[in-house]
Structure 1
Amino acid sequence: MVKIPKSHPRYWSLYYREKIIEGMEKGITAKAGLIAHGRGEAFDYLIGEKTIPPAEEAMKAAVAKLLLAEHPVISVNGNVAALVPKETVELAKALGAKLEVNLFYRTEERVKKIAEVLYEHGAEEVLGINPTKFIPGLESERAKVDERGIWKADVVVVPLEDGDRTEALVKMGKFVITVDLNPLSRSARMADITIVDNIIRAYPRMIELAKEMKSWDKERLQDVLKSYDNSKVLSDVLIHIRDRLTRLASEGVWRKERLD
């Protein structure tokens, strides 16, 4: 991994780019994952590279739903394993959720390597190595799921996801939560709860929320969900981007960004 000086103004952005590259070199991340990461970075620029209020609202609703779930599952792909393996394991433990590897560019070697990474960061069980079921309506490798995990789940977290699987899971009757920096993607629009934020910010915050909300009673958690509207949240994200770009255009991009 290339050493990046911490004094570099884009240190964290470059650091996580290198983590994705390192993941590819280790056989964890697919080549297409590099493209997906770059696309996400572009949308992160648009929202201001910070967690915005609509994302915070979505995270709170997501954690409430996961704490109420009977069989919550967090899906893991190559980019997730490269960027936030420790946080993924911690989040699963905080929520009492299972972990399952699910890949579009699936090879048995990649699945095992991702599972190894999760075990190295404290996972007690990783599903998806020997899938026994197939998601109806999917022809890709993503259709392969574990009957003890995603197949059985009532709530599934599918971060950095392909829209076709999100749609297929919704058709199966699953409640789907996604983390996606693109508010216009099919995943974002098809999911029940969409967290428009960078996963490197979202997962640590969701861990904090899970620890805080775990003591809440069922009624309080349900109240959070009753007041949540995913369509409005996505609209609020687009309004945030619109207003931010309008402000930058009027104030001057160079000067404003330098001050930020």
Structure 2
Amino acid sequence: MSEVDVPEDHPRYESLLTRHRIEDGVAKGITSQQGLIAQGRGEAFDYLLGEETTPSADEAERVAAAHLLLAEHAVLSVNGNVAALCPGELVELADVVGADLEVNLFNRTEERMRAIVEHLEAHGATDVKGLAADARIPGLSHERAKVDADGIYDADVVLVPLEDGDRAEALSAMGKTNVVVDLNPMSRSPQTAAVPVIDNVVRAIPNVTRHARDLADATDDELRDIVDAFDAEAALADAEARIRDGGDGSID
């Protein structure tokens, strides 16, 4: 199935396109086979959220934009699923907020790293980080500890979509501001984040970009007011309540 094979009036149009992108990512060597499982888990949570950006998620996306605009050095972390799902959107966000892109993988091979870098470059990215891997995140023994010294290691704000909980904790322990995009508010990653964005990454990244454009002329004081007013625990509680109530729609 290709994207043109999915009729736009199909009730599961967006979901089918998303599944196809992950499948295509596996075929291209961008996404690991474990990424298929992660995608299925995320789709189930998205279904319970009603497959839409909730008001609290949109607020978190606005706060995320404020953090990225205030950052001295912002980095958008990219794994295989994110690269497959929204590469162009990530490149656009990085451009709008002046952030770096860095590839970071749990199932890391040089072939996958280079495939993702080239995939991002094909969507307009330049100077994608991650290949140097000349620094390590303290406290981690697996491959996601490997980062670039002038990338994630040096960053003060890191956007970490579809993140491993232990790395999210380790980044927070380094004093970095974590913006986590995750569909499960009970996962360790959003639980440890300064800004938990409980939304589908294919909606969240464009939403953060939209807010960043809207806030482009805001002063630093105005941006700090947005950041300071945010209640991460309330955002998590709202998402959990939404999930427990259940969304509407059907999974095919």
The residue type equivalent to 2:40 in the other structure is: G
Output the CA distance in 1 between the equivalents of 2:67 and 2:192: 17
Q: Give the aligned partner of residue 47 of structure 2.
A: 45
Partner of residue 109 from structure 2, selected from 104, 107, 110 = 107
Q: 1:217 aligns with which of 216, 219, 230?
A: 219
Q: TM-score, normalised by structure 1?
A: 0.93
Q: Tell me which residue corresponds to 2:79.
A: 77
**Equivalent in the alignment of 2:192:** 190
Residue in 2 aligned with 1:159?
161
Cα RMSD for the two superposed structures: 1.3
Correspondence 1:122-201 to 2 at 5 A:
122-201=124-203
1:5 positional shift: 2.7
Shift of 1:232: 1.1
For residues 221-249 of structure 1, the C-alpha deviation after alignment (integer angstroms, 9 at most, x for no partner) is: 0000111111111011112233x43xx8x
- Which one-letter code corresponds to 2:226 in the other structure? V
Q: Equivalents in 2 of 1:10, 1:73: separation in Å?
A: 33
Q: TM-score, normalised by structure 2?
A: 0.95
Aligned to 1:204: 206
Per the alignment, residue 252 of structure 1 pairs with: none
1: CA distance, partners of 2:31 / 2:156: 27
Residues 69-97 of structure 1, C-alpha deviations (whole Å, 9 max, x = no match): 10100000000110000000000000100
State the distance in 2 between where 1:4 and 1:64 align.
Answer: 36
Letter in 2 for 1:19: R
Amino acid at match of 1:182: N
2:193 maps to a residue whose letter is: A
- Checking the alignment, whether the CA contact within 8 Å between 2:50 and 2:249 is kept in structure 1 is no
Q: Using the aligned pairs only, state the percent identity.
A: 53
Identify which of structures 1 and 2 has the higher relative contact order when contacts are C-alpha pairs closer than 8 Å and 6+ apart. Answer: 2
Give the corresponding residue for 2:31.
Answer: 29
Structure 2 portions without partners, runs of 5+: none
Secondary structure class of the residue paired with 1:127? coil
Q: 2:228 aligns with which of 226, 242, 245?
A: 226
Q: Which residue of 1 aligns with 2:6?
A: 4
Counterpart Cα distance in 2 of 1:71 and 1:32: 31
How far off is 1:257 after superposition? 4.2
